[in-house]
Amino acid sequence: MRSNVRITTPLVRSALQSIQRRSFSASVGRQAQWGFIGLGQMGYNMARNLQAKLPSSDTIRVFDINATSIQKFANETKALGSGAAVKIAASAREAAEDAETTITVLPQPSHVKNVFGQILKPPLSQEVVSNPDRLFIDCSTIDPSSSREVANAVHTTRQGRFVDAPMSGGIVGATAGTLTFMLGSSDSLISRVEPILMMMGKRVIHCGDQGAGLSGKLANNYLLAINNIATAEAMNLGIKWGLDPKVLASLINISTGKCWPSEINNPVKGVVEGSPASRDYSGGFGISLMKKDLGLAIQAASEAGARLELGDRAKQVYDAAEQQEDCKGRDFSVVYRYIGGAE
Amino acid sequence: MRSNVRITTPLVRSALQSIQRRSFSASVGRQAQWGFIGLGQMGYNMARNLQAKLPSSDTIRVFDINATSIQKFANETKALGSGAAVKIAASAREAAEDAETTITVLPQPSHVKNVFGQILKPPLSQEVVSNPDRLFIDCSTIDPSSSREVANAVHTTRQGRFVDAPMSGGIVGATAGTLTFMLGSSDSLISRVEPILMMMGKRVIHCGDQGAGLSGKLANNYLLAINNIATAEAMNLGIKWGLDPKVLASLINISTGKCWPSEINNPVKGVVEGSPASRDYSGGFGISLMKKDLGLAIQAASEAGARLELGDRAKQVYDAAEQQEDCKGRDFSVVYRYIGGAE
């Protein structure tokens, strides 16, 4: 296990990229083939950045169950007139079939399992070892167990290598190409994976072996989910007691209560300029996504026998807040509104 | 209400101090008299710093219900041979009787009410307005309502001015004179109060009118109480999932989970050098103090009609952890041990 976090900076990115691309070409004797499966809100923008940064000699095959998304992607990249050639795949399997690298960005564990069920050829056939160097980068946020299950299926049938690389940074980061990826991967694959992720983000954190990226993300987001509720409560408390919101936030942010929700994403309007709270909680990190990550963490905690004290109560808060009409679909800091905070 | 936090730095301290001391002497025609009530673990060390920094022409009268503490204080300051003259008061009232400034550092709301019941002369008597300029600085952490009640008693009987100035920084900060005070005071008193607090600390945050210091402290510590449990849970989760503790902490501390308990007071041994966790949770911020502050915040929330979602559950955790033999009396990050974290 690694003793410190390894982070790739943009400085080494282009060097690694060109080395990487050459090795593809050399090993397979042709220009690089890419697969991209899942053109949802995150995947679409990630694929846009990847496509734009690849050379025109490369080909990227895209697939999504939503045909409109694929067509839109094809049209937009065609209009751009640069970057890798885009081809529409008829299935997830077709997108990945000839690709050295396939990236998946899917919403739920079931989608990831289903897609890899299609991609992987039946085990033990003659074809099994036809392409053992295929790289699968799964950027979906799912539970580590499901991820390991899929990784095992890929590895035991020798149909490629599978790494998990969930991200943080939201749609804004996906669009701007400034995502942070939490990578779970064997050391030997890092130099191959990192330059690819750096075409869609600005930071790669190697958390450990396969599955560790998801574990890191879920542990972090578990903490975030609770800190966010606690911040909403603490701000509401102080304001109800008569404190000025900005004074209270300033006090907390130079004290032991300081955390990301108090400092960057303060849930009270006007405290942090440009925060979701200052625009009626629009944009930001949707409450349903926070609820999803919290649910995955609770599930994985249960599987690992890790005792949680606050998790279930926090989940109830997000469940109930999401049901409330004036909170639904908004940034997760809307919990402040849910508990009755003055606006 | 003030729109931003006002902080006094050491740079302005000595200037303010000398102005302050001169104004005392000028107004009362003699050297300054001080009262200090409450020589517990915090008060004792605060009084030591105050006494040492006052001129030898000043007198400080100390009182505590524990006679041993008073005697020890008298002996130690006598041995020092410098600073203000120390006199042992026979009662809280005697300590405050002739003092321009009296500082109280008491454990519970009942102690504060009781002490001020003794100090204040019966209202409406001839003597009532004999010393309307007396300053009372209460550094106790109590609920804002009790504090306002005492302040009202002082103000309506015109026997002085009362401000709340609870502190953070613990025994280490009290000993080193590096406390942070959260001040609840009318604007007109700030210039009188700040230089006094700066003799015992390094920072004064003016939070608003009387009571606001306590409100700020309790709101902050409510947030801290919950962030601490959530951090213990998140660290435990990641470690149970196979992550290296240092990698996990590094990941969290450059991500949205970052908070004081993850970064400064990480509950896992070896992650932060010199942390309580790295010395079997000794020292630091005692779990019983965290429990006390959380209880006060919950009580004050209830009085103000502020809805809490996680407070009661968090309180149960600290209550139960404090009952556990291997957690009792230790730093509040010992919650990690309480939930079964690997050590």
Structural domain includes residue B148:
yes
Nearest one of B75, B136, B72 to B105, comparing CA atoms = B136
* Tens of pLDDT, residues B190-241: 999 999 999 999 999 999 999 999 999 999 999 999 999 999 999 999 999 9
Transcribe A38-105 into DSSP letters: --SHHHHHHHHHHHHHS-TTSEEEEE-S-HHHHHHHHHHHHHHT-SSEEEE-SSHHHHHHT-SEEEE-
Hey, what are B307's tokens? 């809805």
CA distance A117 to B330: 51
pLDDT of residue B245: 98
Among the candidates A209, A235, A267, a domain finishes at: A209
Question: Is residue B244 included in any domain, yes or no?
Answer: yes
pLDDT of B121? 75
Domain count, chain B: 2
Percentage of chain B lying above the pLDDT 90 cut = 83
Mean pLDDT of A92-107: 95
pLDDT of residue A15: 41
Task: Give the separation between CA B85 and CA B101, rounded to whole angstroms.
Answer: 15
Looking at chain A, how many residues does it have? 343
Tokens of B286: 């005692």
Q: What is the Cα–Cα distance from A169 to A204, expressed in whole angstroms?
A: 12
Please give the pLDDT value at position B215: 97
The first and second tokens of residue B266, run together, are 């990480």
Contact call for residues A220 and B252 (beta carbons, < 8 A): yes
What is the percent of chain A where pLDDT is above 70?
A: 89
Task: Give catalytic residues of B, as residue numbers.
Answer: 217
Query: Token pair of B45, please?
Result: 């060390």
How does residue A29 score in pLDDT terms, banded at 50, 70 and 90?
very low
Q: B11 vs B64, which has greater pLDDT?
A: B64
pLDDT at A80 exceeding the cut of 90:
no
Residues A17, B227: Cα–Cα separation, whole Å: 40
Instruction: Give the confidence band of B132 by pLDDT, cuts at 50, 70, 90.
Output: confident
Q: Which of B226, B230, B306 sits opposite A236 (nearest CB)?
A: B306
CA distance B316 to chain A (A): 9
Average pLDDT over residues A314-328: 97
Characterize B303-323 residue by residue with b for buried, 16 or more Cβ atoms within 10 angstroms of its Cβ, and e for exposed: ebebebbbbebbbebbeebbe
Q: Cβ distance B215 to B184 under 8 Å? A: yes
pLDDT value for A3: 43
Annotate B328-343 with DSSP letters as a single string: TTSBGGGHHHHTT---
B221 and B187 in one domain?
A: no
- Per-residue pLDDT, A1: 38
pLDDT at B123: 54
Domain for residue A34, yes or no?
Answer: yes
On whether the CB atoms of residues B332 and B290 are closer than 8 A, the answer is: yes
Q: What is the CATH number of the domain that holds A280?
A: 1.10.1040.10
pLDDT at residue number A234: 98
Range scoring the smallest mean pLDDT among A48-57, A61-70, A109-118, B13-22: B13-22
Q: If you average pLDDT over residues A133-151, what whole number do you get?
A: 96
Report pLDDT for A5: 56
Q: Are residues A118 and A29 in the same domain?
A: yes
Single pTM value for the model: 0.89
Contacts of residue B11, Cβ cutoff 8 Å, sequence gap at least 6? none
Structure tokens at B50: 């105050």
pLDDT at A249 over 70: yes
User: Above 90 in pLDDT, residue B31?
Assistant: no
Structure token digits, residue A227: 């800190």
**A83 token code pair:** 């970057």
User: Which of A23, A337, A7, A24 shows the shortest CA–CA distance to A202?
Assistant: A7
pLDDT of residue A24: 45
What residue of A is the nearest CA neighbor of B1? A244
Residues A217/A182, Cβ–Cβ less than 8 Å: yes
Residues A131 and A70 in one domain: yes
The catalytically annotated residue of A53, A202, A217, A315 is: A217
Q: Which of A102-106, B6-10, B339-343 is predicted with the least confidence, judged by mean pLDDT?
A: B6-10
The pLDDT value recorded for residue B130 is 57
pLDDT band at A8 (very low <50, low <70, confident <90, very high): low
Burial class from Cβ neighbours inside 10 Å (0-12, 13-18, 19+) for residue B7 reads: middle
Query: Distance (Å) from the C-alpha of residue A51 to the closest C-alpha of chain B?
Result: 27
pLDDT over threshold 90, residue B124 = no
For the cut 50, the answer to whether the pLDDT of residue B150 exceeds it is: yes
Tokens describing residue A122: 């039946």
Q: Phi first, then psi: what are they for B194, rounded to 5°?
A: -55, -50
Give the per-residue pLDDT at A133.
87
Burial code (b: 16+ CB inside 10 Å, e: under 16) for B168-194 equals bbbbebbbebebbbbbbbeeebbebbb
Q: Which alpha helices (H) appear in B177-281, and where do they start and end?
A: 190-197, 212-240, 245-253, 260-263
The answer to whether residues A220 and A306 belong to one domain is yes
> Could you tell me if residue A343 is inside a domain?
no
Are B47 and B173 within one domain? yes
State mean pLDDT over A75-81: 93
Residue B151 lies in a domain: yes
For residue B146, which of B185, B112, B177 has the smallest C-alpha distance?
Answer: B112
Which CATH number belongs to the domain containing residue B97 in this structure?
A: 3.40.50.720
Q: Which pLDDT does position B289 carry in this prediction?
A: 94
pLDDT at B30: 53
Whether residue A203 sits in one domain with residue A80: yes
Residue B276 forms part of a structural domain? yes
Highest mean pLDDT among A28-32, A130-134, B40-44: B40-44
B-chain CB neighbours of A310 within 8 Å are: 226, 229-230, 233, 310, 313-314, 317
Are A5 and B251 in contact (CB < 8 Å)?
yes
Q: What is the mean pLDDT of residues A176-198?
A: 97
Q: Which helix (H) or strand (E) holds B208?
A: strand B201-208
Q: Give A125 or A157, the one with higher predicted confidence.
A: A157
In tens, the pLDDT along A193-206 reads: 999 999 999 999 99
Confidence at residue A220, expressed as pLDDT on a 0 to 100 scale: 97
Considering only A157-161, B135-139, B218-222, which range has the smallest mean pLDDT?
Answer: A157-161
CB contact under 8 A, A229 and B310: yes
Element (DSSP H or E) covering residue A133: none
What pLDDT does residue A82 have?
93
Q: Which residue of chain B is at minimal alpha-carbon distance from A301?
A: B237
B342: left (phi over 0), alpha (psi -120 to 50) or beta: beta
Are residues B112 and B40 part of one domain? yes
pLDDT in tens, A271-282: 999 999 999 999
Q: Using CA atoms of B328, B332, B334, B335 in order, give the dihedral in degrees to the nearest 10.
A: 100
Please, are residues B57 and B31 in contact by the beta-carbon 8 Å criterion?
yes
In a domain, A271, yes or no: yes
Averaged pLDDT score across all residues of chain A: 90
pLDDT of A91 above 70: yes
Q: Which of A142, A256, A298, A302 to mutate to test the interface with B (most CBs of B within 10 A)?
A: A256
- Dihedral (C-alpha) A110, A112, A113, A114: value to the nearest 10 degrees? 80
Q: In this predicted structure, what is the pLDDT of residue B2?
A: 41
Which SS3 state, helix, strand or coil, does residue A182 take? strand
Average confidence (pLDDT) over A212-227: 98
Same domain, B271 and B243: yes
The predicted structure's pLDDT at residue A132: 79
For residue A266, the 8-state DSSP code is -
pLDDT at B122 over 90: no
User: How many CB atoms neighbour CB A288 within 10 A?
Assistant: 14
In a domain, residue B343? The reply is no
Q: Quick one: A187 and A290 in the same domain?
A: no
Cα A116 to Cα A164: distance, rounded to the nearest angstrom: 13
Instruction: Give the residue from A157, A188, A209 where a domain finishes.
Output: A209
B265 pLDDT higher than 90:
yes
Among the three residues A209, A240, A267, which one is the final residue of a domain in this structure? A209
Residue B307 is nearest to which of A247, A250, A340, comparing CB atoms? A340
- A38 with A183, same domain: the answer is yes
Q: Look at residues B212, B213, B211 and name the one whose alpha carbon lies nearest to residue B203.
A: B213
Strand residue runs (E) in A196-261: 201-208
Do B137 and B194 touch, CB atoms closer than 8 A? no
CA B62 – CA B89 distance, rounded (Å) = 6
Structure tokens that stand for B88 in this block: 């042992």
A106-128 per-position pLDDT tens digit = 999 999 999 999 999 765 445 54
Residue of A nearest to B261 (CA): A256
Looking up tokens 């951090």 gives: B231
CA A108 to chain centre: 12
Residue-range definition of the domain harbouring residue B281: 216-338
How big is the CA angle at A168 (ends A165 and A172), to the nearest 5 degrees?
125
Structural Rg of chain A based on CA atoms: 21
Contact present, B98 and B134 (Cβ < 8 Å): no
Same domain for A252 and A331: yes
Compare CB distances from B219 to A224, A234, A310 and report the shortest one's residue: A234
Half-sphere exposure of A100 (CA within 13 A, CB side): 19
My answer on whether A183 and A269 are in the same domain is: no
How many residue contacts between A and B have a Cβ separation below 8 Å?
Answer: 275
* pLDDT over threshold 80, residue A334: yes
What mean pLDDT value characterizes chain B? 90
Q: Is the pLDDT of residue A306 over 80?
A: yes
**Smallest CA–CA distance from A320 into chain B, residue:** B309
Q: Looking at A121-125, A266-270, B262-266, which range is the least confident one?
A: A121-125
